[in-house]
Amino acid sequence: MTRIIVTTSGKGGVGKTTTTANLGMALARLGRKVALVDADFGLRNLDLLLGLENRIVYTALEVLAGECRLEQALVKDKREPGLVLLPAAQNRNKEAVSPDQIQELVSALTDLYDYIVIDCPAGIEMGFKNAIAGAKEALIVTTPEIAAVRDADRVVGLLEAQGIKNIHLIVNRLRPTMVQVNDMMSVQDVQEILAIPLIGVVPEDERVIVSTNRGEPLVLAESPSLAGKAFDNIARRLEGQTVEFIDLYPTPDNFLSRLRKLLSSII
């Protein structure tokens, strides 16, 4: 059965698109067929993060207008044959499409792919309603900040009201050293408010920015990074694997912690 997942947050700039790109790539590397749908009409950038912007010929809008077939609009990734992107139109705004139309696109993709991951725009207006229209599950991305968590909470309520109950939490841009000195909310603080199951914690990592600029999702990098590993772990958890959470906290160097580190690097 196709898993239809929307990546959403409420607040802007917390890492939805980064998450969608990396998860799509990681799932494809696990041998899954994945379609990424950019639902951020007017401010698309999923194509950039995937390094596919120069291969877009048609967008979802042309498909809906009947000007091309769906297969023609899908951009295939050269690195991972299992991955395709359905680009959003850049020259239109979010009112250019309706929830019914997105649902139509998603249904057309269903059964052809194992995963359909929809990148949602910020906010809770039309663009949000469009993005969640066809989804069966949601990934809530938040940073450990009060405003982001508040917006995420609002979005969880709206998703629940829409009947989307399979919701998982990703805490992005965590800075363990700041948490330790009480300058940042901990993952536990975030979870306590949102009351939804955690599927991943991604640390703040400069290499996210480098990978964004190169159009190469972190999970592809040859030298492993913590953030890349974290995204890869999320993909595995989506697959149903039990993957231990990475220990992000620099603990005093005792025997136990070294052992734990050794073990987690093996896993």
Partner 1 sequence: MNSDFILPDTVSPIALPANEVNSNSQVRFKSEEGRLMLILPAEAAPPSTSSWSDIWQQLKQRLNGGDRFWQPNTTVDLIASDRLLDGRQLQAIADALAEVQLLLKRVSTSRRQTAVAAATAGYSVEQTYVAPNQTLTSSSVPLAEPLYLQMTVRSGIEIRHSGTVIVLGDLNPGGIVVANGDILIWGRLRGVAHAGADGNSKCLIMALHMEPTQLRIADYVARAPTTQLTQVYPEIAHVTPEGIRISIAADFSKSQFLSQP
Contacts to partner 1 by CB under 8 A: 146, 150-151, 153-154, 156-158, 160-163, 165, 192-193, 195
Per-residue contact flags (x/-) with ligand ATP for residues 203 to 242, judged by CB under 6 A:
-xx--xx--x--------------x---------------
Task: Please give the Cα distance from 144 to 187 (Å, whole number).
Answer: 7
Task: Please give the Cα distance from 256 to 55 (Å, whole number).
Answer: 50
For the chain, how are helix, strand and coil distributed in percent, rounded to 5? 45, 15, 40
| Strand order through the sheet with 166-174 | 75-76, 83-86, 34-38, 115-119, 3-8, 137-142, 166-174, 198-203
Q: Which of positions 146-175 make contact with ligand ATP (CB under 6 A)?
A: 172-173
Distance in Å, CB of 259 to ligand ATP, minimum: 27
- SS3 state at 153: helix
Distance in Å, CB of 203 to ligand ATP, minimum: 6
Region of 6-14, 78-86, 235-243, 247-255 interacting with ligand ATP (CB under 6 A): 6-14
Does position 17 interact with Mg ion (CB under 5 A)? The reply is: yes
- SS3 state at 239: coil
Instruction: Name which of ligand ATP, Mg ion, partner 1, none residue 250 binds, using a CB cut-off of 5 to 8 Å depending on partner kind.
Output: none
Distance in Å, CB of 43 to Mg ion, minimum: 7
Instruction: Name which of Mg ion, ligand ATP, partner 1, none residue 232 binds, using a CB cut-off of 5 to 8 Å depending on partner kind.
Output: none
When the beta carbons of 70 and 94 are compared against ligand ATP, the nearer one is 94
Does position 12 interact with ligand ATP (CB under 6 A)? The reply is: yes
Contacts of 87 (CB under 8 A, 6+ apart): 38, 44, 46, 47, 52, 56, 58, 59, 60, 73, 75
Distance in Å, CB of 199 to partner 1, minimum: 18
Binding site for ligand ATP (CB under 6 A): 9, 12-18, 40, 121-122, 172-173, 202, 204-205, 208-209, 212, 227
